[in-house]
A and B are shown apart, each in its own frame.
Chain A
Amino acid sequence: MRGRITALVLVAAMAAGCGGGSSSDGSQAVSSGPPSGTLRLFAYSDGFAKGLIKPFTDANPQVKLETTPFDSVSAATAKLRAGYDTDVVNSCVEEGTINQVKLGLLQPIDTSRIKDWDKIYPTFKKLPGVIVDGKVYMIPIDSGVTGLMYNSDVVTTTPTSWADLFDPSHKDQATIEDNPEVAMQVGALAMGITDPVNLTEDQINQVKDYLIEHRDNFRTYWSSDADIQNLMAQGEVSIAEGYPGNVNDLNKDGEDNIKFSLAKEGQIVWTCGYGISSSATNIDAAYALLNYYTSAKAQLYEASRWNYTMTNEDVAKIAPAKLVEEARLDAPAHFGNIIPASPPPNFDLWIKAWNEVKAAG
């Protein structure tokens, strides 16, 4: 009996030694054949929507794709920290990719293995979290820009500045996202602070006081797509900080009077993408999936399905003109003053200040 157990242990140890594509020194071995085996994907559920993922699974029949959804990057981080093993991880810069890197949850990506890496707009390659200490940890795939949503029946002059949200003429008619990062950045830009990402403690207090001072302008703080869309559609608010996707959804629903415009002080941009988990074992299949997500074909699907602004410059070339306009597919080429939404180092002070603003209300 003891002999059998010893044999089983030896077989298991040999199998463990054979598994995976990572060598013990951390370098990534490249296999010559097509990817195979089980590939574990940990992502928002749209990352493996049937229409998006089917071409990948069809093209890689030897890969068994196992998908696990999460509802926020912070929840995903908690699960990964607790020891959840996976191969490919969906992450978002504004939700804390950089934290995942610092916690050792992602491993560096060899961009020479990403076929379309050179086609990704340079703007996205520099984002905090995408690159950390000179190494790439996340392949940026989709993004969106925060701007001004407004009801053109009420706000007859197109707003072009974040300061318009704080204009006394919009008293009790404005709203802003209940998100310390976005709200504080918008307040800072409206005040004229040129670097809203790296606020000092003094600046944080100034922004807090500014937001409290203008509290009467804000009817409420919105917390979900459904929230902001309902508020605009119902006429509860006439100007808001929001996203093009919200406006597109409302327009498709017949609310043609809801428009979107960019603020001249800067465009706060969210960006999501995919990285390789530190616990990944099927490295070749992971790169195959990253290559698929980076391809113009996959990104075109995302743009048409969710109106995201995509990172591969070829998407704008092959997409219909209407989609280019709706999803702002050519926007990254013209990004002037991009402000990456990413948790700042002193984020706890931001959260405290934002909570005080809400409590003052």
Chain B
Amino acid sequence: MSVVGHPARALPAQAARTAPPASIRAGRITRRTLEIGIVVFMLAMLYLPLLLLAAFSFNDSIILSLPFKGFTTRWYTEAFDDPRMRTGLTNSIWIATIITPICLVLGTLTAFALTRMRFLMRGGVAAVVGAALVVPWLVIGISALLFFNDDLPLVGQTDLSLWTVGIMHVVCTFPLVAAIVSARLARFDRTQEEAAIDLGASQAQMLRRVVLPHLTPALVASAIFAYMWSFNNFEISYFVGGPDYTFPVWAFSTLRHGQNLPIVNAISTVISLVQVLLVFIAWRIARPRPDRGDAGGFMPMGGVG
């Protein structure tokens, strides 16, 4: 029975002719299975500890082990009843919220300077900015404490407070923003800027309508990282903090007692959920929109894509 010449029946026949051999199909299936396996493994490695953390925060026991002793929400109640925890959490939120936009501005300006401008010692400036990313926070914290305790010109000795914490968070965080935004700028085709100018756009219009949309994923990623770096920072916050301490400082100091572990566990679960939610919202905002002609997208670990 011939099917040649009949369009409707020709398709399966063509498919049969072009179908890869069984060995290749088996190879593809194996590769696909392996890929899925790796993804599942990576997701489990990343999120299983978080899920366990959340599960044990409802366990009616101070011991983090199976079997579960019963369901309770008392660790959450105790956590939020602790005024020291509330103080630390509020301080951390305030600092992170304030320093994030500052770091975005400083980091973006730095990125523009380093990628678009030619000036003396540009490499040296880049190295100094980048140094904050590789020098351990412990070293930065102790150095900053020595600095603030010194008699500074005009200012004198500086009392440690949330201000000193915030200043140092800016110092160690804006280089991260500069690195992420620089990577994005380096990949930007500058002929688009030239085209915009040729078509009559002003510098401001070109920046607003051409460059900034391109930078959006990088800026969103930077904002998230800046917020998290500041919020989670312990070493610098500990050394340059005065009586107004941050959440990580409270958490570390309270873990001296095993019986406090479920309390820290409970509040950490809440914070982790909020952070995951923030990342999700950021991803929704910055995801590529093909209908708008977006090519790149927000990739949390890669910074930008």
Contacts and interface: CB of A to CB of B under 8 A. Distances in A.
B160 interface: yes
B255 interface: yes
Contact of B254 (A45, A78, A245, A250): A45
B261 interface: yes
Contacts of B239: 78-79, 82
A83 B146 contact: yes
A2 interface: no
Contact of A226 (B238, B243, B258): B258
Interface stretch (A18-26, A61-69, A156-164, A205-213): A61-69
A233 B256 contact: no
B250 A45 contact: yes
A82 B146 contact: yes
B33 interface: no
Contacts of A85: 149
Contact of A71 (B82, B243, B252): B252
B261 A226 contact: yes
Interface stretch (B57-65, B174-182, B185-193): B57-65
B65 A44 contact: no
- Interface hub of B63, B69, B245 (most chain A Cβ within 10 A): B63
B74 interface: no
Interface in B213-253: 238-239, 241-243, 245, 249-250, 252-253
Contacts of B62: 229, 249, 253
Contacts of A84: 145, 149, 160
Give the interface size class of chain B.
Answer: 20 to 34
Give the interface size class of chain A.
Answer: 35 or more
A32 interface: no
B155 to A, nearest CB: 13
B145 A79 contact: yes
B198 to A, nearest CB: 54
A82 B69 contact: no
Interface string A226-239: 10011001100000
B149 A82 contact: yes
Interface in A252-286: 253-255
A255 B149 CA distance: 50
Contacts of A78: 142, 239
Interface string A50-78: 10000000000000001111110001001
Given A40-B243, A68-B242, A226-B261, A82 B145 contact: yes
A83 B243 contact: no
A50 B253 contact: no
B261 A253 contact: no
A16 B63 CA distance: 51
B302 interface: no
A45 B253 CA distance: 6
Contact of B253 (A71, A230, A246): A71
Contacts of B249: 69, 71
B161 to A, nearest CB: 10
A122 to B, nearest CB: 27
A71 B256 CA distance: 7
Nearest to A50: B83
B84 interface: yes
Nearest to B261: A226
Contacts of B142: 78, 82
A46 interface: yes
A306 interface: yes
B259 interface: yes
B206 to A, nearest CB: 46
Given A67-B243, A69-B253, A250-B63, 18 more contacts: A44-B253, A44-B256, A46-B257, A48-B84, A69-B84, A69-B249, A71-B252, A71-B255, A78-B142, A78-B239, A82-B149, A83-B146, A224-B255, A226-B261, A230-B63, A245-B258, A249-B62, A253-B62
29 contacts: A45-B254, A46-B254, A46-B256, A48-B84, A66-B242, A67-B243, A68-B241, A69-B84, A70-B238, A70-B253, A71-B238, A71-B249, A71-B255, A75-B238, A82-B239, A83-B146, A85-B149, A224-B258, A225-B258, A225-B259, A226-B64, A229-B62, A230-B64, A234-B65, A245-B258, A249-B259, A250-B63, A253-B69, A254-B61
